[in-house]
Amino acid sequence: MSVAVQLIMNGLIIGSIYALVATGFSLIYNVTKFVHFAHGSVVAFAAYIFYLLIKLGLGLPLSILLTIIISSIFGAAIDWAVYRQLRKRKASAAVLLIASIGLMILLNSAILAVAGADVKSIPINNPVFDVMGARITQLQVIIIAMVFVLLVGLYFFMKHTKLGKAMRATADNNAVAQTVGINPQRMYTYVFMIGSALAGVAGILVGLEQNLFPEMGTSMIIKGFTGAVIGGMSSVPGSVAGSLFVGLVENIGIWWLPSGYKDAIAFGLLFIFLLFRPKGLFGGKA
Amino acid sequence: MANKLLDVQKLKSGYGKLEVLRGVSMHVDPGEIVVIIGPNGAGKSTLVKSIFALNDIYSGSINYKHKNVTKLPTHERIEMGIGYVPQGRQVFPTLTVRENLEMGGYLTNEKDLLKKRMEEVFKHFPILQERLNQLGGTLSGGQQQMLAIGRSLMQDPQLLLLDEPSLGLSPKAMKEVFQKVLDIRKEGCSFLIVEQNAKQAVKLADRIYVLEEGKVGLHGDKKILKNPKIKKIYLGGHGHD
């Protein structure tokens, strides 16, 4: 029993980090209409920046703040330097997708070149609690609380602020958004900033909870992308539910399989959904 | 004639390397309803898009309220009082009716003013008030067209560009939309309307331009449909004289 509770808890905790990745990813996808696979590498970039800042002795609060700001600017810079240049040349969504995969490989290699191949970890003081026979760390409680607050905040931002509405309008119909005076390019910049700030938080959390390694971005985007697909891509609450589902399945899956198969389980899920339910659990329309 | 609201001179425009308009001159006076008709591909939509800065202008000029706006971007033209309702009942489908209207006033930051304008939109289109919290995509075709027009009214335009407002509407909905145009005109708004449905639109018009292969083929009042040349234009004959 306690093993089951433990696995479910572990699944929800890592699933909530995936949810941050998936939410940023699907937000960017919905507004810009292309798949930004390098989003996972922004998570990895953030984790390494955070590691560096901690090593420099900046302390936890300042390192967290700076990492989020740097990730946000980094995301907008990627859009400006790569995607925007391609859009100007009227590149199709397929070309942008390929560019984003290239960018992911480039960023992974850059991290490998600069930080080295060794696995790094960020030491923090992390007391353990006992919840219904499962062991939960203080950090894990913070992860769940933080993700919850961020996602609720994002929901209110998108629903009730003028900028949030303008982003949804751009996502709905880019051409019409232009006719009411919305500058779609500016919305792209904002959505990259917001999505990448969420990726920054995910990078911090995953860096604290697990280890850092150069390829971690690929693993994060596989989970985030699978979560978003299961949730139906166009729906942010769907992406959250889908990500929690991925976290649960991969953690319950290691009851039977060695833990090295976690990524394979996510891929398997992605494959099943793309094959049998490409619109996801919640996606109404294509 | 000295008091033109909109004055287009020798306009050449299109999309990238594709030149569609090949020297169009036309104008709209204050309070006028001007209708543009012509066969498919004549450049009707291209003309209103150019007036709203949505495509590439190669040469010629667009003057609005005696100011040269040829090089101004869309949002500045909106702020000067030009509104545009695109072809095909274009609303934001996953935004509510209220949010659609709010987005129409995107460039206005005064909340009281927006509230007042929304009330005025409801006066013209009471159905929008009834459906305020419904998603734009769930409205009927006619209601969507009214929402699209209502959205453009949120910026209080003095010149409203309508691109094929009757497209895909039932005859009843079309009549309703055209009646609204007449109502809104009474409040001092001028209209430039592109229409495929020539007969219905001409009934509304003070003046009509017939576009033909990127140029003004004919220009006149309601009697224009009786002009023998118009048949040639519509049947694709190259009626140059």
Nearest to A181 among B92, B102, B106 (CB): B106
| Cβ neighbours of B93 in A, within 8 Å | 172-173
Q: What average pLDDT score do residues A68-89 get?
A: 95
Q: What's the confidence (pLDDT) of residue A284? A: 55
Cβ separation of B103 and A179 shorter than 8 Å?
Answer: no
| Cβ neighbours of A179 in B, within 8 Å | 52, 54, 74, 84-86, 90, 152
How many contacts does A have with B, using Cβ atoms within 8 A?
Answer: 62
Q: Are A96 and A30 in contact (CB under 8 A)?
A: no
- Provide the mean pLDDT of chain B: 90
- In degrees to the nearest 10, what's the CA dihedral of A60, A61, A65, A68? 40
How confident is the model over B24-67, as pLDDT tens digits?
999 999 999 999 998 888 899 999 999 999 999 999 999 999 99
3-state secondary structure of B63: strand
Contact of A1 with chain B, judged by CB distance below 8 Å, is answered with no
Q: Which residues of B77-90 are buried (b: 16+ CB within 10 A; e: fewer)?
A: bbebbbbbbbbebb
Percentage above 70 pLDDT, chain A: 98
Contact of B93 with chain A, judged by CB distance below 8 Å, is answered with yes
Q: What's the confidence (pLDDT) of residue B199? A: 80
Question: Residue A286: is its pLDDT beyond 50?
Answer: no
Please, what are the domains in chain A? 2-276 (1.10.3470)
Please, what are the domains in chain B? 6-234 (3.40.50.300)
Q: What average pLDDT score do residues B192-200 get?
A: 86
Alpha helices, DSSP H, located in B105-236 = 111-124, 126-130, 141-153, 171-185, 198-204, 228-234
- In degrees to the nearest 10, what's the CA dihedral of A265, A271, A272, A278? 140
How confident is the model over A158-213, as pLDDT tens digits?
999 999 999 999 999 999 999 999 999 999 999 999 999 999 999 999 999 999 99
User: Longest Cα pair distance anywhere in chain A, in angstroms?
Assistant: 59
pTM attached to this predicted model: 0.90
Cβ separation of A180 and B102 shorter than 8 Å?
Answer: no
Contact of A166 with chain B, judged by CB distance below 8 Å, is answered with yes
Cβ separation of A181 and B79 shorter than 8 Å?
Answer: yes
Question: Residue A63: is its pLDDT beyond 80?
Answer: yes
Q: What's the confidence (pLDDT) of residue B235? A: 67
- Residue with the bigger pLDDT between B224 and A162: it is A162
Contact of B84 with chain A, judged by CB distance below 8 Å, is answered with yes
CA angle, residues A88, A93, A95, in degrees to nearest 5: 75
Question: Residue B239: is its pLDDT beyond 60?
Answer: no
Highest mean pLDDT among A85-89, A198-202, B18-22, B212-216: A198-202
Cβ separation of B106 and A180 shorter than 8 Å?
Answer: yes
| Cβ neighbours of B90 in A, within 8 Å | 173, 175-176, 179
The closest of A156, A168, A198 to A31, measured between CA atoms, is A168
How confident is the model over B81-129, as pLDDT tens digits?
999 999 988 999 999 999 999 999 999 999 999 999 999 999 999 999 9
By C-alpha distance, the chain A residue nearest B137 is A172
- Residue with the bigger pLDDT between A258 and B209: it is B209
User: Longest Cα pair distance anywhere in chain B, in angstroms?
Assistant: 56
Q: What's the confidence (pLDDT) of residue B232? A: 78
Among A28-37, A268-277, B64-73, B147-156, the range scoring the smallest mean pLDDT is A268-277
CA dihedral sign, ordered A117, A122, A126, A131: negative
Percentage above 90 pLDDT, chain B: 71
ipTM of the complex: 0.87
Confidence label for B2 from pLDDT (cuts 50, 70 and 90): low
Nearest to B74 among A171, A173, A178 (CB): A178
Chain A interface mutation, best of B49, B106, B117, highest count of A Cβ atoms under 10 Å = B106
Contact of B162 with chain A, judged by CB distance below 8 Å, is answered with no
Q: What's the confidence (pLDDT) of residue B122? A: 95
- Distance CA(A171)–CA(A159), nearest Å, equals 13
Cβ separation of A172 and B94 shorter than 8 Å?
Answer: yes
How confident is the model over A223-265, as pLDDT tens digits?
999 999 998 887 788 899 999 999 999 988 888 888 778 888 8
